Amino acid sequence: MTFDDYNAFCAALPHANHVVQWRGAHVWKVDTKVFAIGRFDAGAVERITFKCSRMSYDILKEQPGCIPAPHLASRGMPWIQRVTDESMDDEGLRAYLAESHRLAAAALTKKRRRELGFEPG
């Protein structure tokens, strides 16, 4: 996945917003909740980090090219970092990014989810 592909995919998700922080990481959020963190070198992916279910975390952390996300998984949070596409192609990554977005939106308050249109009013 290229830098442009990553940003275009994340930008297309509902109420996603982008910020560059943490020493140049391209961070995507739903409102205030982070759902994806990408690091790139000259437009090529270095690594992409995303939130996932506990079950997905337990499976993915054992797969080649995926590791528990530094600074997040060490705090008990189910975040995975894809460092190569060895066991997860870009289509699979997009599915996990979409699920991470859904999980981040679900973590918003019920009031905020209603305001953003994730729940009926």
Q: Which amino acid is at 82?
A: R
Per-residue pLDDT tens over the stretch 53-90: 999 999 999 999 999 999 888 888 899 999 988 889 99
45 within 8 A of 3, measured Cβ to Cβ: yes
Q: Residue 121 domain-assigned? A: no
Nearest to 37 by CA among 58, 6, 5: 6
Residue-range definition of the domain harbouring residue 47: 3-115
Strands 16-21 and 66-68: unpaired
Q: Residue 37 domain-assigned? A: yes
Q: Residue 98 domain-assigned? A: yes
Per-residue pLDDT tens over the stretch 84-95: 888 899 999 999
pTM, two decimals, is 0.91
Q: Residue 120 domain-assigned? A: no
